[in-house]
Amino acid sequence: MNRNSIKKVWFVVLAGFLAVPVLWAGEASEMWKRLYQRSTSLEQKLAVMQNLLEQDDPSVVPTLIESLTELVVGSKNLRSSTEKENWTQLCRLIIQALGNFKATESANAIFQCFEAAESPILKSEALTAMGKIRATEYTERITLLLRDLNLKPEGDAISQEIVAYGCINALEKLKGNQAYKQVFLASRGWYSKRIKDRASAALPLMSEDPTEVLAELLRESPPEMKLQALQTGLTSSAPQEKKISLAVLALEQGLLEQTGDVRQQVQLGSLRSNAINALINLQSKFPASLAPLRKVIELNYDVNERLNAVIALGINGSDEATKILSTFLDQQNQRQLRGTQEADNRFTIALIRALGMTKNPLARPVLQAVEYSNYTPAMVKISKEALQQIEQK
């Protein structure tokens, strides 16, 4: 506002004071409301609205909704850049106030303003306010908007980021599985670090148990995204059994994918390793993990994956897990008897110790056979220690 405009505004305000006696509290809001209605220009309305909102009076909500609706209707008649700027600032003031007042009844007016706005900042603030007032009826529309932005449409990237920021602010409070999915994708999307960090910060507040959505992402996403979905699930507040199920699915996906891309091979290896480590850390006894763990051992993509899969089977300790470990140790025993010695005994040692961890009597025969399979005294000692673990059960 220029100096002359300010004088004109305060002339209107002064006229209002002369026409109305001194008032207090909520009555002051009524005075400013009347002054707003008498104001003829956007400059005057902006100045009066600032004073009206300083009263911090929730009773003005109906007036704010009515004012915002009128501004949206009049948006098509804006001509000069000054008018557009004042219109934008006035809308921002009203929307921020409606959000702070948690005025749920203002949802329609705010969203209409979002659609009418040209300013990405105003659009973003309108979306943020939709979250503050818990406008759940608009969750799907805002989710679809973020989905489209995640695809990086052509145009002004900075403006798109600003609007995406508002979407994330809104969806953080509106929640919902599909909303969670799009915020997750935003946290890994094309945006700048600021937007991705904001999305990452929103995720824990959107769902305590996002494993259903993350399982969907594990099935449909490229390797890098699969790994991020697993890591997000493991750090969430989901129940332990849900995290284990997610880890099993991740391991299956890591074994299912076939690719000649070296970078993706590394990512799939990381996916498998993280999944196996999760099964170990969560002390998984899920039967569903046995088949993929056995496959990891058979395929032998990586020695550390293989050794950790053995440990995970030992922790499982079921009859089936014990039989799988016994089968592999029996194969090692047969090789040793034939004189086919391995340069690296880590796999055999891991099998023996894992069988001891099971404390399962089914492991006795194959462990006892170690003593008669031409191993070194050190290996025999390890097998006897494993047998002691079973006897101490």
Q: What is the mean pLDDT of residues 88-93?
A: 97
Confidence class for position 6, pLDDT limits 50, 70, 90: very low
Q: What is the mean pLDDT of residues 333-342?
A: 87
Pick from 263, 285, 307: which residue ends a domain?
285
Confidence class for position 29, pLDDT limits 50, 70, 90: confident
Q: What is the mean pLDDT of residues 13-33?
A: 60
Q: Do 335 and 381 sit in the same domain of this protein?
A: yes
- Position 259 scores a pLDDT of 79
More confident residue, 19 or 386: 386
Domain that holds residue 276: 208-285
Q: Which of 170, 186, 392 is nearest to 384 (CA)?
A: 392
- Position 49 scores a pLDDT of 92
Is the pLDDT score of 217 beyond 70?
yes
Q: Do 322 and 250 sit in the same domain of this protein?
A: no
- 143-158 residue pLDDT tens: 999 999 999 888 899 9
- 121-148 residue pLDDT tens: 999 999 999 999 999 999 999 999 999 9
Q: Is 84 inside a domain boundary?
A: no
**Per-position b or e across 127-153, b if 16+ CB within 10 A of its CB:** bbbbbbbbbeebbeebbebbbebbeee
- Position 7 scores a pLDDT of 41
Distant-in-sequence, close-in-space partners of 77: CB < 8 Å, separation ≥ 6: none
Q: Do 276 and 323 sit in the same domain of this protein?
A: no
Q: Is 279 inside a domain boundary?
A: yes
Q: Do 383 and 340 sit in the same domain of this protein?
A: yes
For the chain, the domain total comes to 2
Q: Do 276 and 337 sit in the same domain of this protein?
A: no
Q: Is 353 inside a domain boundary?
A: yes
Q: Is 271 inside a domain boundary?
A: yes
pLDDT > 90: percent of the chain: 82
- Position 260 scores a pLDDT of 82
Pick from 240, 262, 285: which residue ends a domain?
285
Q: Is 336 inside a domain boundary?
A: yes
Q: Is 79 inside a domain boundary?
A: no
Q: Is 125 inside a domain boundary?
A: no
Q: Do 325 and 272 sit in the same domain of this protein?
A: no
Q: What is the mean pLDDT of residues 66-85?
A: 93
Structure tokens at 99: 């959000």
- Position 320 scores a pLDDT of 98
Pick from 238, 270, 285: which residue ends a domain?
285
Q: Is 215 inside a domain boundary?
A: yes
Q: What is the mean pLDDT of residues 62-72?
A: 96
Q: Do 267 and 325 sit in the same domain of this protein?
A: no
Q: Do 325 and 253 sit in the same domain of this protein?
A: no
Range in 14-28, 77-91, 332-346 the model is least confident about: 14-28
Mean pLDDT, rounded, of the chain:
92
- Position 3 scores a pLDDT of 42
Distant-in-sequence, close-in-space partners of 170: CB < 8 Å, separation ≥ 6: 127, 128, 130, 131, 135, 138, 142
Distance between CA atoms of residues 122 and 179, nearest Å: 22
Confidence class for position 85, pLDDT limits 50, 70, 90: very high
Is the pLDDT score of 64 beyond 60?
yes
